[in-house]
Structure 1
Amino acid sequence: MMDKNLAALLVVDVQVGMFNKSDPVHQADLLIENIKSLIDKARSYGTKVIYVQHNARPGKPFERETPGWEIHPAIRPNVGDTIIQKNTPDSFHETNLQEELLVMGVKQIFLTGIQTELCIDSTCRRAQSLGYNVVLVKDAHSTWKRGELDAEQIIEHHNNLLCWFAEVKESSQIQF
């Protein structure tokens, strides 16, 4: 456990469009429940909460200022929370995330969100290469079936693989 002022909870791409009723992200309700619980816990300890919001091209489900682009209503930011806008899977690439973390004095990142094999994977690797102590919350990130792999297999694979870049813990084990 680190000084709460040196840690941040990163919530990546938990946007309305990811919860489309015809093809929702794997275990959508449990994902929201786990992330909401982590946000509440982080706030109670004074840990910073940072949202990353994906911006897609016009006409796509995550086009800026459209309903699908909005952060999920169950975990909407509070006044004072930081929101980072991104255009690629890597939450650091061409964004101000690194600058915000430096200003806040953050040394440890608790990583949650969507999409396991894209945004979570690339953000986790990049954060570690930038020198952050990364904790991947293994039951607070998700994805969809892709090819021959179902979502559960992809999540399990990444929880095992990303242990080279992060400490992997259940949300119930997280201490801010």
Structure 2
Amino acid sequence: MSPRPVAPVQALILVDLQAAFVSGANPVPHAAPLLERVEDLLARARESGALVVHLQNDGGPGADDEKGTPGWELHLPADTHRGEPVLHKTVDDGFEDSPLEDLLRDAGVQELALCGVMSEMCVRATAATALDLGFRVVLPHDAHATYDIPSAEGISDRVPAATVSRVAEWSLGDEVEIVARAATLDFTKP
């Protein structure tokens, strides 16, 4: 994790902050403090004029985030007056089959921060592609989350969500900038 001050970023990408995962009947562990940190990031990004992009997973029939159901709704709605885009996806990577790269490049974004759910799935996949595309990526440790991995007989005991999130960060290698607290991250206009 970065021990030095972190340079501001030009964009905030909110990954799948949908009701099913953060405020529904089965939210990720510690969803309330996660949402407080994300709301703070979002307010500061908007205030600075940074680009804000919302990713929304369109879950299939019967999924907690099935498209059009209450669980599918964004917990933190996009600000349409500011022109915040909502990009729909059906895979983990927010760049796959999406205009996300063009949107970032057209806005002049070179540096971005990611927050949201699930750490080891959509957050990690989107961060990995952003790194591959040459973006500077900052990942606030306390602004992404996931669920526990259940035990699997003969394989492992239950893996706590906090461990899963940390492993997801670690798996991104040394190019990603991991900061301990979202509160230390600043934004700037692209």
Q: State the partner residue of 1:171.
A: 182
Q: Tell me the distance in 1 between the aligned counterparts of 2:72 and 2:177.
A: 30
Residues 40 and 183, structure 2, Cα contact 8 Å, conserved in 1: no
The percent of aligned pairs where both chains have the same amino acid is 30
Deviates more, 1:130-139 or 1:22-31: 22-31
Q: Tell me the distance in 2 between the aligned counterparts of 1:160 and 1:131.
A: 19
Distance of aligned partners of 1:68 and 1:102 in 2 relative to their CA distance in 1, 3 Å threshold: same
Q: TM-score, normalised by structure 1?
A: 0.91
Q: Tell me the distance in 1 between the aligned counterparts of 2:106 and 2:85.
A: 12
Q: Tell me the distance in 1 between the aligned counterparts of 2:13 and 2:146.
A: 17
Structure having greater relative contact order (Cα 8 Å, sep ≥ 6): 2
Q: State the partner residue of 2:153.
A: none
Please say if 1:111 is aligned against 2:114: yes
CA-CA distance at 1:20 after TM superposition:
5.6
Q: State the partner residue of 1:135.
A: 138
CA RMSD for the aligned pairs? 1.5
Q: Tell me the distance in 1 between the aligned counterparts of 2:175 and 2:98.
A: 21
Query: Per residue, is there more helix in 1 or in 2?
Result: 1
Task: List runs of 5+ in structure 2 lacking aligned partners.
Answer: 1-6, 151-157
Task: List runs of 5+ in structure 1 lacking aligned partners.
Answer: none
Higher Rg: 2
Query: Per residue, is there more strand in 1 or in 2?
Result: 1
Q: State the partner residue of 2:172.
A: 162
**Which 4+ stretches in 1 moved above 4 angstroms?**
none
Q: TM-score, normalised by structure 2?
A: 0.84
Residues 8 and 108, structure 1, Cα contact 8 Å, conserved in 2: yes
Total equivalences in the alignment? 171
Within 5 A, what are the aligned runs for 1:64-75?
64-72=67-75, 75=76
Distance of aligned partners of 1:68 and 1:22 in 2 relative to their CA distance in 1, 3 Å threshold: closer
